[in-house]
Every structure is written in C-alpha cells, then in structure tokens.
Amino acid sequence: MIGGVRKIEVVLNLASGGVSPDAPQEAEAILAEYGVSSRVCASSSGDLEQCLKAALDAGPDLLAVVAGDGTARSAAEMCGPDGPLFAPLAGGTMNMLPHAIYGARPWQEALVDILDQGVERPLAGGSVDGKLFLVAAILGTPALWAPAREAMREGKARLAFDRARTAWSRAFSTRLRYVIGTGPRQKGEAVIFMCPTASRRLADDEQALEAAGLDLNGALEAFRLGLHAAVGDWRDDPAVDLSLCQEARVWAPRGIPALLDGESVQLGPMAKVAFVPRVARVLAPPDEPAGAEADVAGAMLNPAAP
C-alpha cells in the first residue's frame, strides 16, 4: 500500500442509485485485509454532508467516497489541494469522474487496486461562475439533450419525448459568443471544456483545459456530430474548433443552459470559465486502467447515448 496511508475514512451514499445495502460490510471487509485504522460511514438520508465533515475531521490519510459525481465533486472541494488523499469511487448513475480515473469497473475492484499499488496524482478541474467541474462542462443548447436522456434512462418515454422536442426546438435558435483566453471573438452552438483527467489529449498534470467550440448550422450537422460521438472521436468533426484554455468568457442573449459533469445547470447570459490547477490529490492506479479512456464529453454530445 502507498506509504503514509494508515488511516482511511470511507463514506458511502446508499441513496445515490449505485450503492447496494451490503456496501458498508464489503468496504469493512476489504479494509480489514490491510491492517489500517478505518471507519465506514453509510448515509441513506440527508446526513451525507455531515458524514463527509466527520470523516475529514477525523484527520484521515485517505478519504474514499462511494457515491455519485455531485458528492465526489463536493468531497474533492472539501479535501482541497493540501488535504488528505481522495478516492472518488463509482457509486452513482453516470460515474463520470470515477470512470475517468479508475476505468469502468466496480468500486470494490478499484479500491483494492489503489490500496495495493496506488500513486498520488493531482486532480485539476475548472469552474464556471464559481461552480466547480472535474470532468467536462458543456455550455449551450446541446446541454438540453441531457434531461431527455435521463428521462429515457428512468423509463419515462413520454417525458423523454417531450424534453427531446423542447431541446430540438431550441437547438438552433440561440448562438453563443465566446472568447478563449486572449483569442478572437467567436460564435457557435456550444463550447465544451474538458479537464485533464478526462481528456484523451491532455496529460493528467497538463495545466489547461481542453476547449472545443461547436459551430453547427443545422440539424444535419448536429446529427453528424452525434454520429462522430457514437462511433469515433467527436473532435474529428469539421464543426469542432479545438484549443487549450486557461480562461474563457461566454455570453448569449438569454440564459445559457449548461452541463457540469453531467448535471444540468442554468447560467446567466454571461459566464466566466477558469482552469483550476489543483482541486485535490487523488489516489489513482499507476497505469491507466482499461475503460478510463472513455470519452464522457462525446457521450454527452450523443443524443442517443444511454
């Protein structure tokens, strides 16, 4: 096990949709094999924040969280760049951050892996008007596709159809204006910002976001982009303009729909995006596991993605 990790706190969100009732016992059994001081807190109601605070107040060397992306984001902020090591394990529905770090595998397997041979890595991110994201942010009307996908995932076909119709009715009605760094003023349907942990083209310690402007001129180009996202790399689409980004400004005539790590957010008519170089320290595998290269931004751009 990585040197210096002798005290471990584990927080499980039993209400997140991906954590079984047996998870606390499973976590305790795994930790017992390593002879460390450990404690497991399982939340099934509204005391999740209290569990996180109590875990950090205990002064652990490692905080492991089995929950969804929203909880992982909150826990990373609470750990901070100088706090304990952090392990965001898959326990939600999308699991964007855990999959980007550990690959698409069960949290039990990922936990054993990092306890056996984990290494410390910096976790960088980005912010939009002070709201943190650790994987990807999409600003613009393609963000409206997410509620339709979520309704379909929940088996609510009629609601999914209504949301999809709303998304397409707004798809080409409003174009964003944006400036990446000191570059020229540009316009398009959307702007995507990818964090180093999730970007295929950035190293984990790269000091920038990957920014991509989408200049779509109609439904046919949107369909083509979705096809690229489904079968290849959406970056190869001719409507995509790529660059590195430390900061950006995005504005529109009215509020900007956005997806931050898969979570729908409504922004005001002007938004400021910034790179956050050190959010926390994560305990990660020494080598990228199979499945970690999955393109979460591409999945969000594909209207048919499950």
CATH of the domain at 104: 3.40.50.10330
**137 part of a folded domain:** yes
pLDDT band at 138 (very low <50, low <70, confident <90, very high): confident
Whether 2 is in a domain gets the answer no
CATH number, domain of 144, equals 2.60.200.40
- In DSSP terms, 133 is beta-bridged to 126
Residue 32 covered by a domain? yes
Domain range enclosing 33: 7-117
**Residue 291 backbone class (left: φ over 0; alpha: ψ -120 to 50; beta: rest):** left
Report which of 133, 15, 11 is spatially closest to residue 65, judged by C-alpha positions.
Answer: 11
Distance from C-alpha of 108 to C-alpha of 10, rounded to nearest angstrom:
12
The last residue of one of the domains, among 85, 117, 149, is: 117
Is 16 in the same domain as 154? no
- What pLDDT, on a 0 to 100 scale, did the predictor assign at position 98? 93
Give the tens place of pLDDT for each residue, 102-125: 988 999 999 999 999 999 999 999
Give 217-228 as a DSSP string.
-SHHHHHHHHHH
Same domain, 110 and 163: no
Averaged over 286-303, what is the pLDDT? 55
User: What is the mean pLDDT of the segment spanning 3-22?
Assistant: 90
Query: Which is nearest to 97 in space by CA: 263, 238, 271?
Result: 263
User: b/e map of 72-108 (b: 16 or more CB within 10 Å)?
Assistant: bbbbbebbeeebbbbbbbbbbebbbbbbbbbbebebb
User: Between these two residues, 180 and 224, which has the higher pLDDT value?
Assistant: 180
Half-sphere exposure of 227 (CA within 13 A, CB side): 9
Q: Tokens for 48?
A: 């999740």
Residues 141 and 272 in one domain: yes
